[in-house]
Amino acid sequence: MLTATFGSGLTCGAGLIRWGSRITPIAQSDAKLPPCNQTALEIIQPAIIDTKEDYKES
């Protein structure tokens, strides 16, 4: 799967995720994520704005 990648020095980059043949989980976690009231676009919007500004300056 090819994805847009943001942060950690990969802003405006791409990430390639390859799955192996194992499709069963190794273990199960009881970890819970806190609720989020933002969409994915709202979360990454600051990175998009910063990147656009960087391209304007160059």
- Alpha-carbon distance 17 to 2, whole Å? 6
Q: How many domains does the chain have?
A: 1
49, part of any domain: yes
Percent of the chain's residues with pLDDT above 90: 24
With respect to residue 27, please indicate whether it lies within any of the assigned structural domains: no
Domain of residue 4: give its range. Answer: 1-18+42-58
The amino acid at residue 53 is: E
In a domain, 13, yes or no: yes
Q: What is the mean pLDDT of residues 33-55?
A: 87
Residue 29 placed within a domain: no
Residue 31 domain flag: no
User: Rounded CA gap, 11 and 5, in Å?
Assistant: 6
Residue 51: inside a domain: yes
pLDDT digits (tens, 9 = 90+) for 17-43: 888 888 888 899 999 999 999 998 898
Q: What is the pTM of this model?
A: 0.43
Q: Is residue 33 part of a domain?
A: no
Supply the mean pLDDT for the chain: 82
